[in-house]
Amino acid sequence: MGLNPSPPQPEVLPPEGQYVSPPVPPPRPRRRWASAPATYTLVGINCAVFLAMVSHGVSAFSPSVDQIMHWGADNAGNVLIYGEWWRIVTAMFVHVGILHLATNMWCLWNLGLLAEPLMGSFGLFAAYILTGAAGNLLSTLYNWLRPIHDGSNILFPAGAGASGAVFGIAGVLIILLKSKRLPVPQFELKRLRKSVIYFAAINLAIGFSINIGTNVIGSGLRIDNWAHLGGFSYGLLFATPLVPRIGSSRSVFQMRMRLAIAAMVMLLVLFGFYISHLLPPQS
């Protein structure tokens, strides 16, 4: 998931072995790409962006801040001072090294294969973009209000990675797996839902624990917990008006999906409008 080394390192580099794996979907027949196109497309886009970065000279293991910023990483100063709002979206496809990419893609693949049958390919893609954007907006707000002070300078850390969107999909699953419409034994649904809850809770706890340790020591890695919290909370909200695609009528599902997307887009626009009118950070 996304990490945040102290400057001048980017904020999203994940230490190996720090993350709890997401629940693995139950055994199923071999699937072709067409059975889960959104999941494979999102993983493919993230991998393609990383390969493009490496082919243009970006380090595959420890890219610099300038390198990830060139490819679309998020930064509170660039967004709010220079108006580069597109970074809220592009940052969720940029990764800080191959370990960061592999960790996020493993989680996205497992959670996506579990979520896509429940909400459809368009729903999963929308959930990824909307919850990832919400996480990046909350991270931008936090870094704007709590910048890093380096003598007389104010520094805004760079942020990148799919982790906010991954936590968002986890939030969606926690809501949808509670439905009684699904033609799956209740004990199996409870097991899957409990696994997703443990995945989210333990990884959030690990993130905050690492940051506390970094603050005590005064240096080290920082996890972008605000992107995780923003994505996760938005995922819960996004799924609230939904019913699982499996077990519900097509018309009801499509109506609720449109309602959920419209409501979430409106909330994102209002949140972005609020952030854009904040006063400059205190020096």
Token digits of residue 137: 């907006």
Rounded Cα–Cα distance for residues 97 and 12 (Å): 9
Q: Is residue 130 part of a domain?
A: yes
Q: Is residue 13 part of a domain?
A: no
pLDDT, averaged per 10 consecutive residues of the chain (283 residues), comes to: 46 48 63 80 98 97 95 96 96 96 96 96 98 97 86 83 97 96 91 95 88 68 87 97 92 95 97 86 53
Q: Is residue 19 part of a domain?
A: no
Domain extent, residue 163, equals: 37-277
Rounded Cα–Cα distance for residues 54 and 221 (Å): 23
Q: Is residue 21 part of a domain?
A: no
Residue 151's pLDDT is what?
Answer: 65
Residue 10's pLDDT is what?
Answer: 43
Q: Is residue 126 part of a domain?
A: yes
Q: Specify the amino acid at residue 159.
A: G
CATH code for position 153: 1.20.1540.10
Q: Is residue 12 part of a domain?
A: no
Cα of 200 vs its chain's centroid, Å:
12
Token digits of residue 180: 């009684």
Residue 7's pLDDT is what?
Answer: 46
Q: Is residue 221 part of a domain?
A: yes
Alpha-carbon separation of residue 5 from 44, 173, 215, 220 (angstroms): 27, 30, 12, 6
User: 89-106: b or e for each residue (b if 16 or more CB lie within 10 Å)?
Assistant: ebbbbbbbbebbbebbbb
How many folded domains does the chain comprise? 1
Q: Is residue 22 part of a domain?
A: no
Whether a cis peptide bond, with omega within 30° of 0, leads into 27 is no
Q: Specify the amino acid at residue 125.
A: F
Q: Which helix (H) or strand (E) holds 154?
A: strand 153-155
Angle in degrees, CA 207, 210, 211, rounded to 5: 85
